[in-house]
Amino acid sequence: MARKRPGPPTGIHRDFALRFREACEQAPQYVGETQEELSRAFAVSTTAIFHWRNGDKLPDMDNAVYIANKLGVCVEWLLTGRGSRYPIPSMPFLEIARVFEQVPELLDIMANFTKSMENALKLNREAKAAREAIREKAKAA
């Protein structure tokens, strides 16, 4: 039996319903899910899913955070349409600590690079001056 797609949302929270539907359709594990399947996935009643999909009601904050996390979207975007749709990936604390441990070494590399560039620019200026001097001598001769 073919699954029936819900009609367009008609409730006062239509924009939320559209974002909720879109997020469900784009999360691979929820594509084509029925109300019953979504209610099990989000641990809510089928009535709640119906009201969210139709735009009649908004989820409470706990449910909104839970479903946003399961769908892989930001709760602010899901509820309001503002902000980034997808969360910014966070870096685990130990990884951040490793990066900061390398800062002194990176600063040394940058200082050495800066010195090398200064030396290269100095040599370039000297070579340019030497070429100019040779050209001047050639003109004088």
Tokens encoding 89: 């990936």
Per domain, the residue ranges of the chain are 14-80, 93-140
Tokens encoding 101: 């441990």
**How many helices and strands, by DSSP H and E, does the chain display?**
7, 0
pLDDT tens for each residue of 80-135? 999 888 887 766 666 777 777 777 887 888 888 889 999 999 999 999 999 999 99
Measured at the CA of 55, the angle between CA 30 and CA 33, to 5 degrees, comes to 15
CATH architecture of 14-80: Orthogonal Bundle (1.10)
Tokens encoding 3: 């699954």
Check if the beta carbon of residue 55 is closer than 8 Å to that of residue 6.
no
Average pLDDT over residues 13-30: 90
Q: What is the pLDDT of residue 103?
A: 79
Q: Using CA atoms, how far apart are residues 85 and 11, in angstroms rounded to an integer?
A: 22
